[in-house]
């Protein structure tokens, strides 16, 4: 008699997978019966009942009464309590940190800001803890959004604004300081996750996102519904595109982003005698002045040309259904789309669908979803 081979999946991992399947479907359906969960997940009634009891005990599901009868005894209906599970979204520029506590839907319930001292990890952990005291619900995880690259342990690279943290395992250190699961991810990738989860890119499988920030320019790439970061996590670092002769990187800042990020564009405007305030969006200011100021019109045209070449470089490699634009490139609103669309035709022979997005809201939602993914995988 042939011996039965042991399953390659451990019991604990199998349990986590079953729980993940149930909670994902609960989040999707919002209100449902146990029988519907059995039908939708393909799991056995016993397994579904066990996981449901667990989620009720944790406050993530609530019994809300009887549903419609299917000919027999009416089923007890359940509701997913999205506000009962919370995540902390941390943004930092190396000198200050902002924390927002948000639920599964990205609804922010509390925010705080602090200056960072000699021990930024402790400062961030303390800020998360203090912010969580302002809300009801269980804080389950932390996601740190950074303008750079992070490994699985949260070790940072290509993050010049966070030089004091570069090379340190931020996720591990913050987990030790806070006692919570921690994930560190690129801020542009998180915008993509948020837009794909519940934004203009919902249901779209192949997407590129171009974000022009204050000091950097980055892209997020999604293929077949998954964010692609490459072998070393560097996919999308288009700030290093050598789009001009003699381009070179310095101090982990690419030539392209040095010239055509928000700050780079502002510096060019000021050098040309065009006043742009420190809190103003240079692209919008240039477009406002373009009709009466030839220098502003030329600089805006140069920026549009640079951004169009970057978009074309990405499009010809991954052929996305949709290209999302956020940050400075979207600052002029819908009136900034037409010049980009026209200039793209110079570099790419096919139509490209461009869509402006509000990066901050999407980034927070993406960060929440990434945080809960870590919780679900390790529960």
Cβ atoms 296, 286 nearer than 8 A: yes
Q: Is the dihedral of CA 34, 38, 39, 41 positive or negative?
A: positive
Cβ atoms 110, 100 nearer than 8 A: yes
Name every residue whose Cβ is closer than 8 Å to that of residue 374 and which is 6 or more positions away in sequence: 141, 181, 182, 183
Q: Which two tokens stand for residue 256?
A: 């392209």
322-327 and 226-227 strand pairing: unpaired
Domain definitions of the chain by residue range: 11-80, 85-191+362-378, 202-356
Return the pLDDT at 376: 79
Cβ atoms 22, 43 nearer than 8 A: yes
- CATH code: domain 11-80 is 1.10.10.10
Name every residue whose Cβ is closer than 8 Å to that of residue 248 and which is 6 or more positions away in sequence: 255
C-alpha 375/C-alpha 76 separation (Å) is 28
Q: Which of 253, 265, 352, 347 shows the shortest CA–CA distance to 303?
A: 265
330 forms beta bridges with none
Name every residue whose Cβ is closer than 8 Å to that of residue 36 and which is 6 or more positions away in sequence: 29, 75
- CATH code: domain 85-191+362-378 is 3.30.420.40
Exposure letters 343-354 (e unless 16+ CB within 10 A, then b): bbeebbeeebeb
Q: Which two tokens stand for residue 214?
A: 């204050």
Return the pLDDT at 270: 95
Tens of each residue's pLDDT in the chain, 379 residues? 455 555 555 677 788 888 889 988 998 899 999 999 999 999 999 999 999 999 999 888 999 988 776 666 778 999 998 888 899 999 998 889 999 999 998 999 999 999 999 899 999 999 999 999 999 888 999 999 998 888 877 788 788 777 777 778 889 999 999 999 999 999 999 999 999 999 999 999 999 999 999 888 999 999 999 999 999 889 999 999 998 877 777 778 899 999 999 999 999 999 999 999 989 999 999 999 999 999 999 999 999 999 999 999 999 999 999 999 999 999 888 999 999 999 999 999 999 999 999 767 899 999 999 999 888 776 5
Superfamily of domain 202-356: ATPase, nucleotide binding domain (3.30.420.40)
Q: What is the 3-state secondary structure (H, E, C) of the chain?
A: CCCCCCCCCCHHHHHHHHHHHHHHHHHHHCEEEHHHHHHHHCCCHHHHHHHHHHHHHCCCEEEEEECCCCCCCCCEEEEECHHHEEEEEEEECCCEEEEEEEECCCCEEEEEEEECCCCHHHHHHHHHHHHHCCCCCEEEEEEEEECCEECCCCEEECCHHHCCCECCEHHHHHHHHHCCCEEEEEHHHHHHHHHHHHCCCCCCCCEEEEEECCCCEEEEEEECCEECCCCCCCCCCHHHCCCCCCCCCECCECHHHHHHCHHHHHHHHHHCCCCCCCCCCHHHHHHHHCCCCHHHHHHHHHHHHHHHHHHHHHHHHHCCCEEEEEEHHHCCHHHHHHHHHHHHHHHCCCCCCEEECCHHHHHHHHHHHHHHHHHHHHC
85-191+362-378 and 202-356 share one fold: yes
Locus of tokens 């980009």: 340
């Amino acid at each position: 008699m042939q011996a039965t081979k042991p399953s390659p999946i451990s019991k604990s991992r199998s349990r986590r997978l079953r729980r993940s399947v149930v909670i994902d479907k609960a989040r999707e359906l919002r209100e449902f019966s146990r029988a519907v969960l059995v039908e939708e997940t393909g799991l056995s009634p016993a397994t579904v009942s066990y996981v449901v009891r667990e989620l009720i005990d944790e406050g993530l599901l609530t019994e809300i009464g009887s549903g419609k009868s299917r000919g027999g005894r009416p089923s007890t209906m359940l509701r997913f309590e999205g506000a009962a599970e919370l995540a902390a979204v941390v943004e930092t520029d190396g000198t200050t940190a902002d924390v927002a506590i948000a639920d599964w839907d990205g609804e922010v319930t509390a925010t705080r800001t602090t200056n960072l001292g000699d021990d930024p990890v402790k400062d961030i952990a303390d800020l998360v803890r203090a912010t969580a005291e302002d809300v009801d619900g269980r804080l389950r995880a932390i996601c740190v959004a950074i303008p750079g690259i992070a490994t699985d342990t949260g070790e940072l690279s290509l993050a010049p604004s966070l030089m004091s943290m570069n090379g340190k395992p931020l996720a591990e250190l913050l987990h030790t300081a806070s006692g919570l699961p921690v994930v560190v991810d690129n801020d542009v990738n998180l915008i993509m996750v948020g837009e794909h989860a519940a934004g203009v890119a919902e249901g779209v499988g192949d997407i590129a996102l171009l974000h022009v920030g204050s000091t950097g320019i980055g892209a997020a790439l999604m293929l077949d519904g998954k964010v692609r970061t490459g072998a070393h996590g560097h996919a999308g670092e288009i700030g290093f595109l050598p789009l001009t002769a003699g381009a070179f990187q310095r101090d982990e800042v690419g030539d392209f982003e040095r010239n055509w990020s928000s700050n780079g564009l502002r510096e060019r405007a000021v050098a040309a005698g065009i006043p742009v305030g420190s809190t103003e969006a240079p692209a919008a200011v240039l477009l406002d002045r373009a009709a009466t100021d030839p220098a502003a019109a030329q600089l805006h045209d140069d920026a549009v040309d640079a951004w169009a070449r970057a978009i074309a470089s990405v499009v010809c490699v991954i052929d996305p259904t949709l290209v999302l634009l956020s940050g400075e490139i979207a600052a002029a609103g819908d009136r900034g789309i037409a010049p980009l669309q026209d200039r793209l035709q110079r570099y790419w022979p096919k139509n490209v669908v461009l869509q402006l997005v509000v990066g901050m809201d999407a980034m927070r939602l993406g960060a929440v979803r990434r945080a809960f993914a870590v919780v679900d995988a390790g529960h």
